[in-house]
Amino acid sequence: MKTIKNTNIFALALPFAILLTYPFIQEGAFGFSLLSTMITGFLQFCIGVKMLVDNPKNKDLQIYMTGVIVFFILWFINIDLNYNDILSYVSFSMPPILAIYLTLIIYKIP
């Protein structure tokens, strides 16, 4: 569990650490910080899958995975609808909510 917590801390801190390099690497720091959020999402998804495999009856992890699936379904639907404004706002708000939710799950489980 300590490895999962450390991986989650690394995943959450990575975009902020890259953004802190902005005074030195002005051109690419913001873009790389935004791109690193995809790494954060992938690492958190892997953590969520591992935790769900280890504990398949945990309702919180099932809700997290359902949220991830709903996010990608909405994303693909939004592409087909030529980027509907309401779905775009929901799509932008879901990843931070899912990241916070998984972090709370990680620290809630002993």
Residue 56's SS3 state is coil
- Average model confidence (pLDDT) for the chain? 87
36-to-5, 30, 51, 76 alpha-carbon distances in Å: 19, 10, 23, 21
| pLDDT at res. 83 | 75
For residue range 35-81, list pLDDT tens digits in order.
888 888 899 999 999 999 999 999 999 999 999 999 999 888 888 87
Q: pLDDT confidence of 91, banded at 50, 70, 90?
A: confident
46-to-19, 31, 52, 77, 79 alpha-carbon distances in Å: 24, 24, 10, 24, 25
Residue 25 DSSP symbol: S
| pLDDT at res. 56 | 92
pTM, entire model: 0.82
